[in-house]
Copies of this chain bind each other. A is one copy, B any other.
Amino acid sequence: MIHFECDYAEGALPHIMDLMMKTNMEQTSGYGVDPYCERARDLVREACGAPDAAVYFVVGGTQANKIMIQSVLKPYEGAIAATTGHINVHETGTIEAGGHKVLTIPTTDGKITADRIRKVAAPLPGDYHVVQAGCVYISNPTETGTLYSKKELEEIRKACDEYDLYLLVDGARMAYGMGSSKNDLTLNDYARLCDVFYIGATKCGALFGEGIVIPNKKIRKELPYHIKQNGALLAKGRLLGLQFIGLFDEEKLFFKVGDHAGRLADKLSGALRDMGFEFKYDSPTNQIFPIMTNELLDKLKGKYVWDENSGVDENRRCVRFCTSWATKEEDVDTLIDDLKALI
């Protein structure tokens, strides 16, 4: 079976596994107070061009999202997000469990715009009967593989400034965004435009880990308490440091991982397009969403694994194929060949 259903089907980059093996029996203090985390934080700050930013590592994305949001919202404030946003649909209500409403903006491509943010935020202030907007949450790339441009992100920042909203970016797949041929955003841009964001490692070559970067000075001191309260403070914290050293040291694997997955995704989606497949979302990143007939998918079933997205009509479904740091070019080629033979 060849797995294309997600970008977390394998373990970690050999370089990261090596770092873990080499340091395994060393003794360090726990909870992120160790030389490896120290170095990893420095590497992340350097990569972001944000020498003053605070950096914290947590194990997973749901934790990172909850912690960011709880750190910036008051109890009567909510987070503006796309209806398709991860916090709105795939975290079993973790934001609400923390007391906050998700103020949703309908979307067809997974993205929200500065104008829609204004429309949500404008009528709220001073109306005590309604949840107030406190922050904007976006993920980039989005859950549907689409990508915000620098201009779009700058406009969202502007809207946030107008309504005194924090801007949070879920970067679970940030490496794959940056590896896209359509990307014009740098880590420096994120550090310049966001109040807090995170750089995903779990899906981008590490065993686990998300690196929360906090350019906004006002909220820096809040995070560690939220991290511990949410059970996101890893006892053997250095493991998280090692993941990020592995991604951001001189090998710069973080960027190579993105390039690799982006190139293979382009190859696959290009071939599909050439074969006449339509796509539900116009994704320039590592997740692609072609529409295929039930008949074709039945034939692929024994050999490939993919992710179901949604039905289209009686005969067709939208499915998700992901590439990742670990995807082998030969597997993509095999898939393309098989498809060509089948249609």
| Residues of A participating in the B interface, judged by any CB pair closer than 8 Å | 1-3, 5-6, 8-12, 14, 17, 20-21, 23-31, 59-63, 66, 70, 74-76, 78, 89-102, 128-132, 202-203, 207-208, 222, 224-236, 239, 305, 326
Asked if A24 meets B12 with Cβ closer than 8 Å, knowing A74-B222, A93-B101, A99-B99, the reply is: yes
- Output the nearest chain B residue to A24 by Cβ-Cβ distance: B11
Residue among A60, A90, A97, A231 with most chain B CB within 10 A: A231
A89 neighbours in B (Cβ, 8 Å): 130
> What are 28 A-B interface contacts by the 8 Å CB criterion?
A3-B27, A8-B30, A9-B27, A9-B29, A11-B20, A17-B21, A21-B21, A31-B128, A60-B233, A61-B235, A62-B233, A70-B75, A74-B225, A76-B225, A78-B93, A78-B96, A92-B131, A97-B98, A97-B99, A97-B229, A99-B99, A101-B102, A128-B224, A128-B228, A128-B233, A129-B228, A202-B236, A208-B235
Shortest distance between the CB of A125 and any CB in chain B (Å): 10
Contact between B10 and A26 (Cβ–Cβ < 8 Å)?
yes
B228 near A231 with CB under 8 A, answer no
A contact patch SS: loop
- Which residue of chain B has the shortest Cβ distance to A76 in the bound complex? B225
CB < 8 Å neighbour of A92 from B25, B93, B95, B129: B129
**Contact call B93/A203, Cβ cutoff below 8 A:** no
| Cross-chain contact A234 with B59 (CB below 8 angstroms) | yes
Q: Is the CB of A239 within 8 A of B208?
A: yes
Q: Give the distance in Å from the alpha carbon of A239 to the alpha carbon of B337 in the complex.
A: 33
**Which residues of chain B are near A78, meaning CB under 8 Å?**
93, 96
Q: Is the CB of B208 within 8 A of A234?
A: yes
Chain B residues within an 8 Å CB radius of A227:
128
Chain B residue contacts of A66, Cβ below 8 A:
231
